[in-house]
Amino acid sequence: MKKTLVCKIDKNNIDIDKIQEFGKILKNGGTVIFPTETVYGLGADALNDKAAKKIYEAKGRPSDNPLIVHIADKEKIHEIATNIDERVYSVMDKFWPGPITIVLKKKTIVPSITSGNLDTVAVRMPSHPIAISLIKESGVFVAGPSANISGRPSPTDEENVYEEMNGRVDGIILGGDSNVGLESTVLDLTGDIPTILRPGGVTIEDLREVLGEVVIDPAILEKNENIIAKAPGMKYTHYAPKAEVFIVKKYDEDYIDKINKLVDEGIKEGKKIGIMCLDKNKDKYKGEVIGLGEDLNEVAYNLFKALREMDKKGVDIIYSESFENVGIGQAIMNRLIKAAGYKFV
């Protein structure tokens, strides 16, 4: 166990002395967890390979899975990436600071531990005031994957991030809930056609308005051993609670009856069954029901927290409703499918 410096900071009234203390930890090669608008991040100096290595250790993350480098000033992109064309400028202008990460050719200054041995680097400017302030005060490029143990749901609130990571890092800044609740969109702009490697906070519809043609990496949408995900992280089991997760296809009119029957069967076998659904269906199900919200944005905000809550309730099996595959729904379904290991009922 490491001794972890833990501090609450109010994002609307930032205590700059405290931020400077955490910034110093990063500058000196340590690890600091900080809130962002997408999920909590586990930061370290991206250009210091010893520091970046600590991220993989703290998360138990495979080292071929590259890290996103966070900046607080758009101009900084030129120090770590090359081939910055008009498309990159238009995405930065429209969506930064915000929940989108751009993959570009890297400069040699970026160590291979940060880029997962690729010749590219993923860069993002977050909008969360604490994240921005921490990056500025640290004076370094901050590598920051989600602050969970590898394979677990990304933490989006103070309690879960503290429980999982206290003692594994040098510092934790508790700064309230992440308001998007899902990770950033990862957009590859190294090729001719802009390609989404991971759906996230900025939708494909938003991107098409700015870039015209945008495609989504086929490995995101289906399980196919012959298709290799271009974002190495997408090939690993992810976002998984301890319970077994199944997604309920909504094709049948009577899906609610179907699920209740499965709940009955599970209970008879002595299992505890969880249901995740839209709020409007909450009262229709038996079992441990968690309403994820009234619309897709609320579902995105609540999804990871709900998966963790199911663990706390000691649920054995989770049935989740499926959601419309448009807008942020694409990112929601991507995370759910991963959590379920592609299992549908």
The Cα–Cα gap between 62 and 297 comes to 31
When binding is defined by CB under 6 A, the residue of 169, 180, 197, 202 that contacts ligand AMP is: 197
Helix (H) / strand (E) containing 43: strand 41-45
Q: Which residue is nearest to ligand AMP (CB)?
A: 233
The Cα–Cα gap between 51 and 114 comes to 10
182 binds ligand AMP (CB under 6 A): no
Q: Which is nearer to ligand AMP, 187 or 276 (CB)?
A: 187
Binding mask 145-174 for Mg ion (x = CB under 5 A): -x----------------------------
Q: Which is nearer to Mg ion, 101 or 260 (CB)?
A: 101
207 binds ligand AMP (CB under 6 A): no
180 binds ligand AMP (CB under 6 A): no
Q: Which is nearer to ligand AMP, 150 or 166 (CB)?
A: 150
Report the nearest approach of Mg ion to the CB of residue 12 (Å).
27
Report the nearest approach of ligand AMP to the CB of residue 67 (Å).
6
**Span from 61-69, 207-215, 267-275, 298-306 in contact with ligand AMP (CB under 6 A):** 61-69
* 3 state DSSP class of 247: strand
166 binds ligand AMP (CB under 6 A): no
DSSP, residue by residue, 283-342: GG--SEEEE--SSHHHHHHHHHHHHHHHHHTT-SEEEEE---SSTTHHHHHHHHHHHTTT
Q: Which residues pair with 68 in a beta bridge?
A: 122
Task: Report CA dihedral (21, 22, 23, 26) to the nearest 10 degrees.
Answer: 130
The Cα–Cα gap between 293 and 276 comes to 10
Tokens 């071929």, residue?
A: 64
Q: Between vectors from CA 120 to CA 114 and to CA 125, what angle results, nearest 5°?
A: 70
The dihedral sign for the CA sequence 24, 48, 154, 204? positive
Q: Which is nearer to ligand AMP, 30 or 43 (CB)?
A: 43
Judge contact between 184 and 101, C-beta under 8 A.
Answer: yes
- Total of residues contacting ligand AMP (CB under 6 A): 21
Q: Which is nearer to Mg ion, 101 or 146 (CB)?
A: 146
Which of Mg ion, ligand AMP, none lies near 186, with the C-beta cut-off 5 to 8 A by kind?
ligand AMP
Judge contact between 52 and 44, C-beta under 8 A.
Answer: yes
Report the nearest approach of ligand AMP to the CB of residue 99 (Å).
11
101 binds Mg ion (CB under 5 A): no
48 binds Mg ion (CB under 5 A): no
Q: How many helices (H) and strands (E) does the chain have?
A: 12, 16
Q: Which residues pair with 262 in a beta bridge?
A: none
Report the nearest approach of ligand AMP to the CB of residue 196 (Å).
11
Report the nearest approach of ligand AMP to the CB of residue 224 (Å).
18
The residues that touch Mg ion, with contacts defined as CB under 5 A, are 146
The residues that touch ligand AMP, with contacts defined as CB under 6 A, are 65-68, 103, 115, 118, 120-122, 145-146, 183, 186, 197-198, 230-234
